[in-house]
Structure 1
Amino acid sequence: MEFQLIFLVFPIIVLIISIVGYSVTKKTYVTPAILFVLFTFLMLLLFNESFFIWVLLYTLLSVIVTMIMYLFGRIKRKRTK
């Protein structure tokens, strides 16, 4: 069960939250910071310290997704000018 959570469910949740979070806030650092705190609490409550590498990877995934959204937004704004 944990294997499915780590490799399937959590990355999909990170992608969805990153896209929605960036769309709402328009800030590249807010959503990754929130996800870092959220997954750190999950690590402390549900998993052990070895889950911290996954916390870092999910945060990195969130940063990548928000940066892609930011770059697409910049390209879209340049084309409308």
Structure 2
Amino acid sequence: MLVMVLVIFLVFPLIAATLGIAGYFIFRNNLTPPLNILIAPIFVFVASLIFMFTVAGNDSFMIWVVLYTLISLATGALTLLLNKLAKK
């Protein structure tokens, strides 16, 4: 039980944040600025939904799906902002 709590509160948010940052850097040259920060959150959303229906098995995990997606979106947007500020 403790392992699952650590995974939900620590591991998954770190993975979502890392994917948000990595998604920005991977797609920054290939897509326009609004789209390059949206690819990783879409991936996180789909992966979290698959996890919710296969492993978690309950609908109460949906709040975590939304939070992980928002974490990924926030870190991607923050990376975009910091990258623009560093270039000035």
**TM > 0.5:** yes
Does residue 24 (structure 1) correspond to residue 34 (structure 2)? The answer is: no
Deviation at 1:65, TM superposition (A): 0.4
Structure 1 residue runs of 5 or longer lacking an equivalent are: none
Rounded to whole Å, the distance in 2 between the matches of 1:67 and 1:17 is: 12
Equivalent of residue 69 in structure 1, options 79, 84, 87: 79
Letter of the structure 1 residue corresponding to residue 51 of structure 2: L
Query: What residue number does 2:7 align with?
Result: 5
Contact 2:52 2:61 (8 Å CA) reproduced: yes
Bigger shift: 62-71 or 12-21?
Answer: 12-21
Deviation at 1:72, TM superposition (A): 1.1
TM-score by length of 2: 0.83
Deviation at 1:2, TM superposition (A): 1.4
Count of residues in correspondence between the two structures: 78
Query: What residue number does 1:59 align with?
Result: 69
3-state DSSP of counterpart to 1:46: helix
State the 4+ residue runs in structure 1 displaced beyond 6 angstroms.
Answer: none
The percent of aligned pairs where both chains have the same amino acid is: 33
Letter of the structure 2 residue corresponding to residue 2 of structure 1: M
CA-based RMSD:
1.0
Equivalent of residue 50 in structure 1, options 60, 63, 68: 60
Deviation at 1:13, TM superposition (A): 1.0
